[in-house]
Amino acid sequence: MEDDLTCISVALDWTPNNNHVGFYVAKALNYYEQEGFKVDLISPHLDNYSTTPAFKVSSKSATFALGPSETVIGHHLPPSSQTRAKLVAIATILQEDASAIATLKGSNISRPRDLDGKTYASYAARFEGRIVQHLIQADGGEGLFTEVTPDKLGIWNVLVTGKADATWIFSSWEGVEAKRKHIELNEFRLTDYGIPYGFSPVVFAHPDTLKAYPDMVRRFLRATAKGYTYSATNIDKASLILCETANKENPTSVDPLDPLMVQASMDYLSKYLLDKEGNWGLMDPNIWKKFLDWLSTEGILTTLIQSRNPVSGVSASLNDLRDGSCGDCIQASEIRVDELFTNDYLMH
């Protein structure tokens, strides 16, 4: 039977956690198999995040991947190349933003403007440092901070051990872990400071895949939606499935999932998984438009991409981007919102 299944790969945005619960549930309960698929969930720890999920989809080494909406937006900006496909978001994992910029309570950094002169542990994403800069400025600060780039999978520990003053977390994962370990955090939510942050994470695909295999995409999302719907209404069972399945599939992980941690995270996250009508994955066009417009208005949509080794006219360093040496500004009107995302492949 397995030989007859179509193989699909999904590049995860992080090591397995509750954001991914619907995928693991859909595998374990044979929802994918019922649609004719064998699904491989690729954890970034396997290559220590040396290749991004976006690159895996752009290069077609993965069928689908997860990442924040700004990853999709960035792939619709210059520089254009064969390795930078204009990715398309086809579903959102969460209906609302569950992330925050976090600091340790003992650091006395109790509000964003206190981050002036401090150290921020960055994932080195194209818009990240400038979003944090605007967060600080929205609270009356200058937006002057040092941006460091530790190994992505170790960033949380860099904050906990005090080697950096702040980083970006999921309150539903690291935030829950902190509470369980009695680590007190300050969490600054972007929306509280006038930043209309977009969906994160989203499921995205190569436009070629959507054009060539629309039925496959619909069936994949139908099975995935079943996994997330089950998870939102069967929290205990879904938590157990995630732990057992993810740990079995990732025997080389140095940090296997803890059932109690997963249960606590699911208690927090479950309310974010479905919309008011009980649907998973659907994206509000207004959220995409408001975030894109904000990025444009604040001068964050620019032509140069971030790089640790900048090439003149193509890329810039993290400091260059934050200091304004980021190329030409791009207006939101130059980007078609309906090319960034689609709800068309979700079957409800």
What pLDDT, on a 0 to 100 scale, did the predictor assign at position 2? 53
What pLDDT, on a 0 to 100 scale, did the predictor assign at position 3? 59
Domains of the chain in sequence order: 2-96+200-272 (3.40.190.10), 99-193 (3.40.190.10)
What pLDDT, on a 0 to 100 scale, did the predictor assign at position 1? 42
Burial track 165-187 (b if 16+ CB lie within 10 A, e otherwise): bbbbbbbbbbbbbbeeeebebbe
When mean pLDDT is compared across 53-62, 65-74, 250-259, the lowest value belongs to: 250-259
For the chain, the average pLDDT equals: 95
Kindly state the average pLDDT of the residues 1-22. Answer: 90
Has residue 212 got a pLDDT over 90?
yes
Q: Would you say the pTM of this structure is higher than 0.85?
A: yes
Q: Looking at the chain, list the stretches that DSSP marks H as alpha helix, in order from N- to C-terminal side.
A: 21-28, 31-34, 53-58, 69-74, 128-138, 155-160, 176-180, 207-212, 214-233, 235-249, 259-269, 285-297, 318-323
